[in-house]
Every structure is written in structure tokens, then in C-alpha cells.
Amino acid sequence: MTDLTAQSRKFQKELNSGTSSLVLLSVLNRSREPMYGYQIAKMLEDNGPDLPLMKQGTLYPVLRSLEENGLLESTVEPSVSGPPRRYYKITEDGRSALTEWLEIWKQTKKFVDAILKG
Amino acid sequence: MFNTVEEYLDALKVEMKGSDSALMQDALADAREHLSTALAVARESDAELNEAEALKIIVDEYGTPEETASAYREVERRTSPSLKPTAKPRSVLSRFFGIYEDPKAWGSLLYMLISLVTGIVYFTWVVTGLSLSLSLAIFIFGLVFAIFFIFSLRGLALLEGRLVESLLGVRMPRRPLFIQKGTTWFEGLKTNLMDKRVWLALVYMFLQMPLGILYFTLTVTLFSLSIGLMAAPLLQLIMLFPIVSFGSVQYFLPIWSLPVFLLAGFLVWTATMHLGKLIGTWHGRYAKWLLVSE
């Protein structure tokens, strides 16, 4: 990330603003147990590219806004090691949104790839 | 760069200066949760961990305070509050009667009715808790009670905040305030007693009863007045019931005046809706001022 120019960082940020919602919904859809922020961040890090595309701190406001829109729900539980943790779980609305978003993502990906290949 | 989680949070606080105080509180809670968890995980794998160095790697992945602050602001900008009405240019008349489809007005009226109950509960709790804390202070278990009471104030403040946000549409904290772990309970009590938020919440809870009585009385009085005015023609025409009575003398209203009464009742109710919305806006601001402070 440090090698990128300011312009490229801005481009990456703009891309992330859409994809991070999709990624988070899909992670929580696949997970059987409710997950907390750090867990999700670790999971993304383990599965992601070598060069992290987004800062972990940017995931939290997205989780919060997804919850506000009713796509996720959360509970706070105390933890042994420190402050209480917020566990997120996908809702029914979230699942149906994910199905639609995946379709949009597929279309977008196909379109962009087609244009880029020329 | 940062030696402790607290230092990072302080820097984040500086970065978020000027943004909504409730948003800041959420951002701080999230950062605290993540950084502490990450640090605890790192400590598990290496007992003789250099905290500052570990934190450097963690913050590198989490993002600088500047990046984190901008992420929160960005998302908040994109998410509009659920009760924000879509602004359309409208005439004075449709603005006046359009209040009926304004969720904020209905929410405010509901809040004004509920505030009598919550006001009495808060007041009773605060007065009982405060007097018991003071009078039991001579015993050891008095301290335990005082701690319990102070923690309950934080909980009540959060609850009231949720109520204010959902009914009055004012952004309030969605996370409880966190108190540093690893300190003794006595230090915890000391931090709490020095925390102005606890005292402001106490004042709020105390004042909520007189305000609740005022709000409830106002709503019920105006509502009864408008129902009475609207019901007058009905009573006189159908039930043959004289509306005006002075002592033993009773009058029937002239027929032409009946629609006027109906209209007057409707206007009083519409005006009450506007008043409710205005009070709701004021109360929202006041609640934010007392319950959410940096």
C-alpha cells in the first residue's frame, strides 16, 4: 500500500467502498457462528492477496452501516481479554441482499473485464 | 508511534474532532475492541512481547487514526439517518398539513407520552440510588452499592439514548462507554466519579421527571381539547346533548357553528403535531448535550 500514489490510493478506496459491503456480507453468510470484527479482519487477511487492499479499521464502520440497514444484526458479549466484543450475524434481509449483490457483482465484473480486454 | 492503545484512541479522538460526538464514541469503541483483541492475541503467542512494537504492526494493519476517522466519516455521510425526511419544496399550506406524514412528529409525540413513565423510573432510581449510596457509604458494602449504581447510570443513559435516537431521530451512541479493564474496582470507582458524563447523566435522569410530566400533560391536554372540539357536533346532533353549560343553564350551539368546531379541533391537533415536533427537536438537542460529551 505504501508504494501506491495518492491517486491510486483514492481509486482503491472508492472501489472498496462498494466491495467491502459485499465481502463482509458474504463472509458472515458463510460463517455458522456470529463473528466479531477482529475475527473477520483475520479471516480476510488469511484469504486475501499478499498486499492488503483495505485497512482493517475501515471494516468496522461498514459493519455498522450494514447493521443500521437491517442486513446484519449484532450482540455485545463480554470478553476475557479486554473490552466487550460486538458479534455480527447476517439477517434474512442480508441474505436476499447478498443474492442480488452477487448478481450485480458478476455483471459488473463481466462488463469491466470485457472492456479492459478490448 | 503509539505505545499504548490509549495513545491511539487519543489520536483518533483528535482526528475526529468536529464530527458527530456519537459517531466518535462508536469509532473509539470499535478501535478499542480491535486493538485490545489484536494485542491480546499477540501476547498469547509471545509472552515477552514488546507492546509498542506489536502495536506498531497492529496499527499498520488497522489504519492510522487519520485513515480510520475518514472511513467513519465517509460511511456516515453515505448512510442517511432513517428518520431524515426527503426535502421537497412545498407550499406553506401543504407544509402545515404535511406534518401528518412526518415520522418525526409522530415519534416526538410518542416520546412525550413515554417520557412520563421513563421520567418517573429514572427519577426514582436516581433518588433511591443516590440516597442509598450516600447513607450506606459508612459501610464497606456501601461502596459496592455505589459502584453498581454508577454503572447502572451508564446503562440507563445508553437506553435513553437509543430511545431518543429512534423516536426523535437524533444520532446517539450505539455502544456503551467502556471503562479500562485491569484496574482495581476502587480505581474504577474513582474514574467514574471524576467522569463528568456520569454526573451529567444523573442530572438528566433527575430532570427527566418534571420534563416528562410537562410533556405528557401538554400532549394529553391538547389531544383532549382537539378531540372535544371535534366531538362537539357529533354529541349535539346525534345524542342531543347540550355542549355549553353554565351552572344549571344549558345551551345548544347554533347549527352553523358545528363545522367550525370540527375544523377548530382539527387545527388544534395539527398545531399540536407541530409543537410536538418542535419539542422533540429541542429535547433531542438537549439530550445530546447532556448525555453525549467528549
CA distance to A15, A31, A37, B66, B114, per residue, from A58 (Å): 13, 20, 11, 11, 37
Of A17, A36, A41, the CB nearest to B74: A17
> CA-nearest residue of chain B to A45?
B61
Q: How many interchain CB pairs under 8 A, A with B?
A: 90
Inform me whether the C-beta atom of residue A61 falls under 8 Å from chain B C-beta atoms. Answer: yes
Residue A56 DSSP code: G
Which chain B residues are within 8 Å of A65, Cβ to Cβ?
A: 75-76, 78-79
- The C-alpha of A12 sits at a distance from chain B's nearest C-alpha, in angstroms, of 13
- The C-alpha of B31 sits at a distance from chain A's nearest C-alpha, in angstroms, of 7
- The C-alpha of B64 sits at a distance from chain A's nearest C-alpha, in angstroms, of 9
Query: What is the predicted pLDDT for the residue at A11?
Result: 86
Per-residue pLDDT for chain B (294 aa), expressed as one digit of tens each? Answer: 788 888 999 999 999 888 888 888 889 989 998 998 888 888 888 777 788 888 888 898 898 998 899 888 888 777 655 444 444 566 777 778 888 888 889 999 999 999 999 999 999 999 999 999 889 888 888 888 888 888 888 889 888 998 998 888 888 876 666 555 556 667 766 777 777 888 889 999 999 999 999 999 999 999 999 998 888 888 888 877 777 778 788 777 777 888 888 899 999 999 999 999 999 999 999 998 888 865
B199 burial type by CB count under 10 A (0-12 exposed, 13-18 middle, 19+ buried): middle
Q: Which residue has the cell 490509549?
A: B6
Mean pLDDT, chain A cut into blocks of 10 residues (118 residues total) = 73 84 93 91 81 81 89 86 86 93 94 91
Residue B5, Cβ neighbours under 10 Å: how many? 22
- The C-alpha of B125 sits at a distance from chain A's nearest C-alpha, in angstroms, of 25
CB pair distance less than 8 Å for B174 and A36 = no
Which chain A residues are within 8 Å of B32, Cβ to Cβ?
A: 82-83
pTM for the model stands at 0.56
Of B36, B71, B174, the CB nearest to A58: B71
Query: What is the predicted pLDDT for the residue at B217?
Result: 96
CB pair distance less than 8 Å for A81 and B36 = yes
> Looking at this protein, which amino acid is placed at residue B196?
K
B196 burial type by CB count under 10 A (0-12 exposed, 13-18 middle, 19+ buried): exposed
Whole-angstrom Cα distance, residue B83 to residue B214?
A: 25
Residue B71 and residue A61 in contact, taking contact as beta carbons nearer than 8 Å? yes
Of B34, B72, B176, the CB nearest to A56: B34
> CA-nearest residue of chain A to B40?
A81
Question: What H or E segment, with its residue span, contains residue A76?
Answer: strand A72-77
